Chains A and B, each alone.
Chain A
């Protein structure tokens, strides 16, 4: 629904399920258009962007109801704008935020009107309407979706300033029209990306959009090594993705279906083409 909130569901929820708790209300500072959320298992915190107030909000891991954030990053020095997404790096204690023109990196513990620790921006980066973000703290990789060139840009985690991407996945064989949401599998050095087909949000066709898996080192016109795609998937406009390595499951949220879809990760691994 159009109410700003974070709904929390049991992993095994199925069908017409109610959330087990909801963070919503006037004190939460939430807005609509928060197109990402991160859970910090190390510090038991929830992190979410508020693009309408150009802020990053932190909540306790068990927050519920009209809970106020425990920290807020906001103010002129933050350079936040159109910050609809973010990624969490719990190893290096950093929050990574794409703003369309830049990738901003903040100290996870930062609060208030703080400048980012690092900024990746400039013509060499090739960033154009960068959307969606993932970070792998173990292998030192940041990935973001891009509109021109259409595809996925990879940077080193510690990159700063006007730097070229270390590799770009782009081209007709990739099947990418719009890369929307990302998650990672550090052990396998793989990026999992939700790929929205052209016009999917308007024509609402099931099966054109997909979830693709690429290696971190893929460069150029490379098709995904595996994909969740087809009529059985029920996916129309997949956005965010998350995985549970423990349960061997991948979770995909769909913008048109207004639903959560859980898939077997093991089945995907069984079908890897390379």
Chain B
């Protein structure tokens, strides 16, 4: 009995050594290596913005850390250039289902706000005012397998609309749609002219729907889903139902081409392969990678975040064809760099813009024109912080001639 106890004690005392050795061995076999270097941005990168002036809220989407943030509308400035703005609330974490979030919308009537996830988990998530931390959304709506970008609320008709890049589609849902609910209407097909659609807005007063389009086009039929839907579901870790199995195994003729960037206007109730009622397009427009758009039906103007030229373009609401903007915010004093999001606060006569490459959102007078300096600056990182700007990357290559790494978004 004593011998057994002694053996037990010896083995017991050696156990931690064995365990440590096993752990080290496992770690080596598993290759649990620390990276030599990591290029990563620890700060939020603001994509889109929306404002509720009555509740004094500015809502911003952050596509780097996957968060939705609210700030004080009237006083977002940090106290010093090396300090970041203090958010009221931050919604972040896997349970929130906020992912690579792009477009945002705010609903002051029902006191809710929305984020549209672009990739991976391409859905619209809605939260109540005041939500913070890792909280689940009050509603989530799957709008596509991937590629949802813009979102617009139509409170007059109780609807919400989104753009889907990958399949050149606009989908319009009832405002409180959830889960896999089907849209009430879609705009999709070769006559729509939709091409890599981004920003969207609805003018309920004039019954029109506006969409900003990029230059990459491939023909998609009305009602056509993404051929890659199964792969997207698979990437999210879902079982892929047989219905999503690929029906075709032979290559088809390619249907892609480059087109002019455009703002396309449709009837608000347009459905299917709808022809736009008018199109803003052509060299005089100056459109280049147009992102978010906002339709101001009070002053009859359209605001466009024109990323390609680091400017904000303002057109007449009824503009058509190859027309120049009536105003343009552009120049060194504006502080704009590849702007993506914007919002017009009609109550305070202000324009909000996001510049992701600068980690900030800047506020201007609604009527600002030319090389206008911002009134206020909301800062997500200390001024001058470099922005790697890596967003949902898929590829990397090594340039051996220049000792550099290439990363497309």
Chain A positions near chain B (C-beta within 8 angstroms): 1-20, 22, 24-26, 29-39, 41, 44, 46, 48, 50, 52-55, 61-62, 66, 74-82, 84-85, 99-102, 104, 119, 121-123, 127-129, 131, 147, 177-178, 180-181, 196, 198-204, 207, 210, 226-234, 239-244, 246, 249, 251-264, 267-268, 271, 273
Q: How far is the CB of B64 from chain A (nearest CB, A)?
A: 6
Task: Give 6 closest A-B pairs by Cβ, nearest first.
Answer: A54-B256, A230-B32, A199-B237, A35-B394, A18-B386, A259-B40
Interface residues of B in 224-275 (CB under 8 A from A): 227-228, 230-231, 234-237, 240, 246, 248-258, 261
Residue of A9, A32, A80, A127 touching B165 (CB-CB under 8 A):
A32
B39 and A9 within 8 A (CB): yes
Q: How far is the CB of A146 from chain B (nearest CB, A)?
A: 11
A81 and B252 within 8 A (CB): yes
Residue of A8, A240, A251, A257 touching B40 (CB-CB under 8 A):
A257
Q: How far is the CB of B214 from chain A (nearest CB, A)?
A: 7
A3 and B231 within 8 A (CB): no
B237 and A11 within 8 A (CB): no
Given contact pairs A11-B403, A100-B246, A271-B29, A233 touches B35 in the complex (Cβ within 8 A)? yes
Q: Which of B78-86, B173-181, B215-223, B369-377 contacts A (4 or more CB under 8 A)?
A: B215-223
B39 and A15 within 8 A (CB): yes
Contacts of B236 in A (CB 8 A): 199, 201-202
A207 CA to B232 CA in the complex, in Å? 21
Interface of B is mostly: loop
B102 within 8 A of A: yes
Q: How far is the CB of B334 from chain A (nearest CB, A)?
A: 18
Can you name 18 A-B pairs with beta carbons within 8 Å?
A2-B47, A16-B43, A26-B308, A29-B258, A33-B394, A35-B408, A36-B395, A37-B406, A54-B255, A80-B256, A101-B246, A122-B250, A147-B230, A202-B94, A234-B35, A255-B392, A259-B39, A262-B38
B50 within 8 A of A: no
Nearest residue in A to B228 (C-beta to C-beta)?
A: A82
Q: How far is the CB of A97 from chain B (nearest CB, A)?
A: 11
Given contact pairs A32-B165, A50-B216, A273-B29, A242 touches B398 in the complex (Cβ within 8 A)? yes
B166 and A33 within 8 A (CB): yes
B399 and A61 within 8 A (CB): yes
Q: How far is the CB of B132 from chain A (nearest CB, A)?
A: 19
Contacts of A1 in B (CB 8 A): 45, 47, 63-64, 340, 356-357, 387, 389-391, 409
Contacts of A24 in B (CB 8 A): 338
A240 and B32 within 8 A (CB): no
Contacts of B258 in A (CB 8 A): 29, 53, 55, 74
Given contact pairs A3-B340, A52-B217, A37 touches B165 in the complex (Cβ within 8 A)? no
Q: How far is the CB of B397 from chain A (nearest CB, A)?
A: 4
B400 within 8 A of A: yes
Interface footprint category on B: 35 or more
Given contact pairs A29-B258, A33-B394, A121 touches B250 in the complex (Cβ within 8 A)? yes
Q: Mark B107-127, 1 if CB is under 8 A from A, else 0.
A: 000000000001111000000
A11 and B251 within 8 A (CB): no
Residue of A13, A82, A200, A243 touching B227 (CB-CB under 8 A):
A82
A50 CA to B166 CA in the complex, in Å? 11
Q: How far is the CB of A258 from chain B (nearest CB, A)?
A: 5
Seed contacts A16-B39, A48-B395; 7 additional CB < 8 Å A-B pairs: A1-B389, A17-B388, A54-B256, A85-B394, A129-B231, A147-B234, A271-B31
Q: How far is the CB of A151 from chain B (nearest CB, A)?
A: 13
Contacts of A74 in B (CB 8 A): 254, 256-258
B391 and A258 within 8 A (CB): yes
Residue of B37, B41, B120, B254 touching A16 (CB-CB under 8 A):
B41
Chain B positions near chain A (C-beta within 8 angstroms): 27-43, 45, 47, 63-64, 94, 99-100, 102, 118-121, 147, 149, 165-166, 195-196, 214-218, 227-228, 230-231, 234-237, 240, 246, 248-258, 261, 288-289, 307-309, 338, 340, 356-357, 385-409
Contacts of A44 in B (CB 8 A): 401
Residue of B32, B47, B249, B399 touching A121 (CB-CB under 8 A):
B249
A16 and B395 within 8 A (CB): no
Q: How far is the CB of B391 from chain A (nearest CB, A)?
A: 4
Contacts of A127 in B (CB 8 A): 249
B288 and A229 within 8 A (CB): no
Contacts of B195 in A (CB 8 A): 52
Contacts of A84 in B (CB 8 A): 394
Contacts of B102 in A (CB 8 A): 2
Contacts of A273 in B (CB 8 A): 29
Contacts of A32 in B (CB 8 A): 165, 196, 392, 409
Residue of A14, A232, A240 touching B33 (CB-CB under 8 A):
A232
Contacts of A207 in B (CB 8 A): 32
B246 and A79 within 8 A (CB): no
A261 and B38 within 8 A (CB): yes
Given contact pairs A39-B397, A239-B394, A9 touches B216 in the complex (Cβ within 8 A)? no
Given contact pairs A9-B39, A198-B237, A258-B390, A226 touches B256 in the complex (Cβ within 8 A)? no
Contacts of B215 in A (CB 8 A): 26, 29, 53
Contacts of A61 in B (CB 8 A): 399, 401-402
Nearest residue in B to A180 (C-beta to C-beta)?
A: B394
Residue of B32, B389, B396 touching A251 (CB-CB under 8 A):
B396
B399 and A5 within 8 A (CB): no
